[in-house]
Structure 1
Amino acid sequence: MAIDSPSWLKSSVIYEVFVRNYGNAGTFNDIYNDIERIKALGTDILWFMPFYPIGKVGRKGTHGSPYSIKDYEEISKEIGNKRDFKRLIDKAHDNGLKIMIDIVFNHTSLDSKLVETHPEWFVKDENGKLTRKVEDWMDVYDLDYENKDLWDYLIKVLDSWVDLGVDAFRCDVAPLVPLEFWKKARERLNQKKEVIWLAETLDPKFIHDLRTRGYNVHSDSEVYQSFDLTYDYDGFYYLKSYFSGERDLNHYFDHVFLQNTIFPKNSIKMRFLENHDNPRIASVLEGKNKIKNWTVFYNLLPGASLIYAGQELMMEKLPNLFEKDPIKWDKGDYEFLSFFKKIVNMTKEIKSTCDQFSIRELSEGIIMIKWSGEEDEYTTILNLEDRYGEIPVDFTLYGTDLITNEIVSIQYFFVISKLPIIIKTK
């Protein structure tokens, strides 16, 4: 279905929120009161991590994992109710935001409503006991898609959330759920309106390990048959190796090229530096200037960009998924916020008007990115390793840096800038 995905998604921005830990109250009101700020960041889609009632049996931590869901059809009372959520949806729509919710259809909590009412809908071991594919996920049981009544029920769940005003679904570990189910769900739901589908595709090692154990796990290429966007975990695999010193950056650049050739022509990746499952980028990289360069880098990659709430303030602490652990907004870096907001909106504009992307390493850690379209062309130079000095170059570049409004002139040699440079060359 990637060929039918709306074109605006290629430059879209998705903002991820975990209601429990967004503010001190931990309710929908925290986000309701922040809608205008979220929109001003350049956000198109506001993604809510699971807000459903959480199972108590086998619960991780005090409050439990939001991905161990007791009831797909309800909202946790601590967070609010459907009336509160509808009020928030309406305000988001009034501000030009689409609402995405998390769908976790691979598994439920150990004491879910479905375990009680339909135990036949679950995977069982050789002894007939309910079980799971991933042993570490001890607080869940996996659903068994051999039962087509389950399919009908889950599609009705999706339908009810669309009726409430939801515009998009982020589907947790989507490759572990049969592709034919997602195709059927998309076909049914998209008859109502344009629904956006984001698949949490998987780290290559995770896919390999599960396939080695005999499970049918879909590749990103397969998933694009029913999803508009997929995670960049296949690429992030190389970025993590770079951050840990195991590989150089060219491994990631080569993979970005591969993505453009082995996936469907109009396929869209969701790029990120952090999310609720990965460390804050400010805890991985040292120095504000370095983080600024990497912020420009990931936002200029082809595809949608993800912001995990708090990233825009260079937060270092990742909120605990299992506890009450609200973001401390007053501790954020507001100079960085101003930069971040400017970059997100600028890079959105660049990607929306251009369709040709290229990237190359001028010297170790010094990167040039080019975006060009019918009328516009942009050249960006990034210092991803906080280097200094000068390097020889094989190009001439002259223009105004869109970030600082200062004139930049490069010929024969480039005096390495600590900050990113973006120049409109046409």
Structure 2
Amino acid sequence: MNKVHLVVFLSALILATACRDTQQNKSESSSSDTVALAAPPAPEWAKNATIYEVNTRQFSPEGNFKEIEEQLPRLKEMGVDIIWLMPIFPLSQENKQGTLGSLYAIADYDDVNPAYGTLTEFKSLVNRAHALGLHIVLDWVASHTGRDHKWVSAHPDWYLQENGRMIAPTDPQTNRSTNWKDVVALDYNNPAMRRAMISTMQYWVKETDVDGYRCNMGGFVPNNFWAELRPELDKIKTVFMLSEWENEAAQFKSCFNMNYSWTIHNIMKAVAKGVRTADKIDSVREVNQQRFPIWYYQMLFTQNHDENNSNGTLTETLGAGADAFMVLSCTLEGMPLVYNGMESNLNKRMSFFEPDTIPWGNYAKSDFFRTLLTLKHRNRALWNGLAGGKVMKISTDHDEAVYAFYRQRDSDRVVVLLNLSDHPQTVHLMGDGFTGMYTEIFSHQPIELKSEMTATLKPWEYRVLTN
């Protein structure tokens, strides 16, 4: 670094250090806004949104669009903003898995599964969602189709082949075949196929007014396709794009507003099982901050359909700490996911290829989610990406067990204290950036935080404080 650059750097550092909290936030906001011009467009409503996953065929005994539409007011009241619908399309029958087949073996991109209802009924669902201020995101499978998709016979050259036979997708990380028997891989070197894929994705935005896509196995598709797709969708309206992938940082620049945080999820499971300490969460976050652009944020989750089916229920994966880790997912930098059924304490592995219905019960966890998601709506410190505040760790004398931090945006601040262990903890809160008067959102009790004060937490206890 030459002397001129060094002087500029030190001057900026001194100026930043001298600023008060509010001034610093304003400075960061201005700088971040300039940098974010390189980010893909994002709809305004995404800045403080929460996403909710729906499996149509499991969501009700009827398994159709009408039953989802009837539940939309309840989800809105709970604080949900985005409804992610798992694939709603007709399913391939060749080599299908189980009785029902995989939702990700698509037979036709241009129609709805007749078991769920009609296209008119789907449009009614979207319209009702929009009337309530909700948004609909479709689950899209771009890397492969079912073996009897209409493209297979009409355009066999749109598929990857070996020795004249269509093949399953290849994992780009291992370069090995997935050996998925019910699907065949699309060839993204074929310009005609790419145009058709863009056209059919435009169709759902134009004709049904959906608000974006959750892209299954987003890394199985070349990033230059996502870069080609995004402006074509935004010509219709600014969409919200979620990638089910974490290992391609360039996706944040080409197309996507958010990706999966598998790394945060995995470290949460490791902490829950006692094989990692709470402070290791910071190591994961630091790696992500280094590899992703400044405007990135991720979907944070404790459960989804893959986890539930493959690895188990919340009780099996997170044990007694399940609620504490959900609090963490709702307050860290990122957008929380609520998996359908969680608000009724879903505690079973849902069968993915056979008929199965969520045992709804009495929605016993609705108040828990409503409290967290309402705070995310109202307190700007918890907003997504550059709209929110950065996580500032609060040091304790037991960081291996207690994860403490605060976030601030302008005059809004949230303090989070989590005992991520199965033992009671008494800790000293060090520093002074978090001091002040607060209200704990679950107990509604006022509390004053002071530097060097002592806090005692029961095993897996959490406290969320707002000013």
Decide which of 455, 460, 464 is 1:414's aligned counterpart: 455
Q: 1:111 offset after TM fit, Å?
A: 1.4
Whichever residue aligns with residue 148 of structure 1, its letter is P
Secondary structure at the aligned position of 1:369 is classed as strand
Decide which of 110, 114, 122 is 1:77's aligned counterpart: 114
Runs (5+) with no aligned partner, structure 1: 205-218
Q: 1:93 offset after TM fit, Å?
A: 0.4
| Number of the residue aligned with 2:236 | 192
Structure 1 length normalisation: TM-score?
A: 0.89
| Number of the residue aligned with 2:322 | 291
Secondary structure at the aligned position of 1:4 is classed as coil
Runs (5+) with no aligned partner, structure 2: 1-37, 171-176
Secondary structure at the aligned position of 2:348 is classed as coil
CA distance in 1, matches of 2:465, 2:325: 17
| Number of the residue aligned with 2:51 | 14
| Residue 443 of structure 2 is aligned to residue 404 of structure 1 | yes
CA distance in 2, matches of 1:2, 1:252: 26
8 Å Cα contact 1:295/1:340 also seen in 2: no
CA distance in 2, matches of 1:102, 1:382: 33
Q: 1:300 offset after TM fit, Å?
A: 0.5
* More moved, 149-158 vs 398-407: 398-407
Secondary structure at the aligned position of 1:367 is classed as strand
| Residue 197 of structure 2 is aligned to residue 157 of structure 1 | no
CA distance in 2, matches of 1:371, 1:304: 15
| Residue 389 of structure 2 is aligned to residue 355 of structure 1 | yes
| Number of the residue aligned with 2:164 | 128
| Number of the residue aligned with 1:57 | 94
8 Å Cα contact 1:224/1:230 also seen in 2: no
CA distance in 2, matches of 1:367, 1:14: 24
Q: CA RMSD in A?
A: 2.1
Instruction: State the 4+ residue runs in structure 1 displaced beyond 6 angstroms.
Output: none
| Residue 420 of structure 2 is aligned to residue 384 of structure 1 | yes
Q: 1:324 offset after TM fit, Å?
A: 1.1
CA distance in 2, matches of 1:227, 1:19: 25
Decide which of 123, 129, 137 is 1:92's aligned counterpart: 129
Q: 1:357 offset after TM fit, Å?
A: 1.6
Return closer, same or farther for 1:92/1:156 CA change in 2, 3 Å cut-off.
same
Q: 1:424 offset after TM fit, Å?
A: 2.8
Return closer, same or farther for 1:314/1:2 CA change in 2, 3 Å cut-off.
farther
Q: 1:390 offset after TM fit, Å?
A: 2.3
Decide which of 111, 123, 145 is 1:108's aligned counterpart: 145
Structure 2 length normalisation: TM-score?
A: 0.81
* Cα distance per residue 1:191-233 (max 9 Å; x no partner): 111111111104x6xxxxxxxxxxxxxx133454211111112
| Residue 62 of structure 2 is aligned to residue 25 of structure 1 | yes
CA distance in 2, matches of 1:23, 1:179: 37
CA distance in 1, matches of 2:88, 2:179: 22
Q: 1:387 offset after TM fit, Å?
A: 2.8
Equivalent runs, 1:137-148 vs 2, <5 Å: 137-148=180-191
CA distance in 2, matches of 1:35, 1:333: 14
Return closer, same or farther for 1:192/1:389 CA change in 2, 3 Å cut-off.
closer
Return closer, same or farther for 1:138/1:391 CA change in 2, 3 Å cut-off.
same
Secondary structure at the aligned position of 2:129 is classed as helix
CA distance in 2, matches of 1:244, 1:124: 44
Q: 1:183 offset after TM fit, Å?
A: 1.3
* Cα distance per residue 1:50-90 (max 9 Å; x no partner): 01111111111100100011111111111111000001111
CA distance in 2, matches of 1:229, 1:95: 23
| Number of the residue aligned with 2:19 | none
CA distance in 2, matches of 1:23, 1:70: 23
Q: 1:304 offset after TM fit, Å?
A: 1.3
How many residue pairs get matched? 405
| Residue 283 of structure 2 is aligned to residue 249 of structure 1 | no
8 Å Cα contact 1:313/1:337 also seen in 2: yes
| Number of the residue aligned with 2:261 | 232
The sequence identity of aligned pairs, in percent, is 27
